[in-house]
């Protein structure tokens, strides 16, 4: 780890962390808290994916839908209107909408082959955006004068790395430049995330092997063809299984850094509170090593 003790972390002129864990446990909240302090640069991996690497895919998808409307079709063909994604750190809906959900097209579903293609695009984009992190650390310092840096990773980071491989290129790139911090949720958090997702299911990225197995198992259990699948029901059915699939992968990633709980993160009211939490956790990890 790039910081070995709490004292070393506190004394560091450049504090650099990457937050990872399940979506909904506080990564973006803490990143925003640090950014709003005025001393931290906030790098959002999902925002980078949705703008730099998948922005054109997203905009083209909007245009395909707009071309189905005669009024908009003519305006688009004559370059009379401009259609673009308004993605922000706090609103990643354009990215998740593009990923889509497989199933019945009459219910907004995608053909499974098209869904897989978009999943593949996301994987490539996420790996590239993660590899961009060291460059943004330099940019934050050289252009904007920020020494402190927080990388707000997406929930699917554990799907695109192999934390058990000491030579994994993404993990090596990240851990060599930032302190890896797992925000770990409890069983109660998991249950709440499942309830929240059930109310408003949204698309996610999954490892190909996991996704193929889920797609097959779901259709066998329900006795459905691909075209009969309710897209929302499928991703609801898949979500809890995805959380269980991701948990050991997060745990393996945590061996590259430290672990804090979602409760501890929620208690950090300002940047100093977060700095103190990381310092305590580093010292506790050293004591238990």
pLDDT tens for 241-259 read 999 999 999 999 999 999 9
pLDDT tens for 176-193 read 999 999 999 988 888 888
Domains delineated in the chain? 4-58+84-279 (3.40.50.300)
Indicate if the pLDDT at residue 199 is higher than 80: yes
Structure tokens at 128: 């590239």
pTM for the full predicted model: 0.93
Distance CA 64, CA 78 (A): 15
- Geometric angle at alpha carbon 62, from 56 and 68, rounded to 5°: 135
What's the mean pLDDT when you consider all of the chain?
Answer: 94
């Amino acid at each position: 780890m790039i910081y070995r003790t709490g004292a070393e972390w506190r004394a560091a002129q450049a504090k650099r962390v990457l937050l990872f864990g399940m979506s909904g446990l506080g990564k973006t909240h803490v990143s925003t808290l640090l950014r709003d302090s005025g001393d931290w640069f906030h790098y959002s991996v999902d925002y980078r994916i949705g703008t730099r690497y998948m922005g054109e895919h997203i905009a083209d998808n909007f245009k395909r839908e707009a071309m189905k409307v005669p009024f908009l079709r003519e305006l688009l063909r004559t370059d009379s209107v401009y259609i673009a994604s308004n993605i922000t750190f706090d609103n990643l809906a354009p990215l998740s909408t593009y990923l889509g959900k497989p199933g019945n097209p009459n219910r907004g579903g995608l053909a499974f082959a098209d869904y897989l293609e978009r999943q593949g695009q996301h994987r490539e984009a996420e790996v590239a955006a993660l590899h961009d992190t060291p460059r943004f650390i330099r940019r934050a310092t050289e252009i904007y004068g920020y020494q402190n840096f927080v990388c707000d990773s997406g929930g699917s980071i554990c799907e695109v790395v192999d934390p058990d491989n000491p030579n994994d290129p993404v993990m090596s790139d990240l851990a060599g430049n930032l302190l890896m911090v797992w925000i770990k949720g409890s069983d109660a958090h998991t249950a709440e995330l499942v309830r929240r997702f059930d109310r408003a299911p949204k698309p996610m990225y999954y490892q190909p092997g996991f996704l193929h197995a889920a797609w097959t198992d779901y259709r066998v259990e329900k006795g459905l063809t691909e075209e009969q699948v309710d897209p929302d029901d499928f991703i609801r059915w898949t979500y809890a299984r995805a959380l269980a699939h991701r948990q050991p992968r997060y745990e393996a990633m945590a061996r590259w850094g430290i672990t804090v709980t979602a409760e501890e993160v929620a208690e950090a009211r300002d940047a100093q509170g977060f700095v103190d939490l990381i310092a305590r956790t580093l010292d506790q990890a050293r004591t238990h090593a």
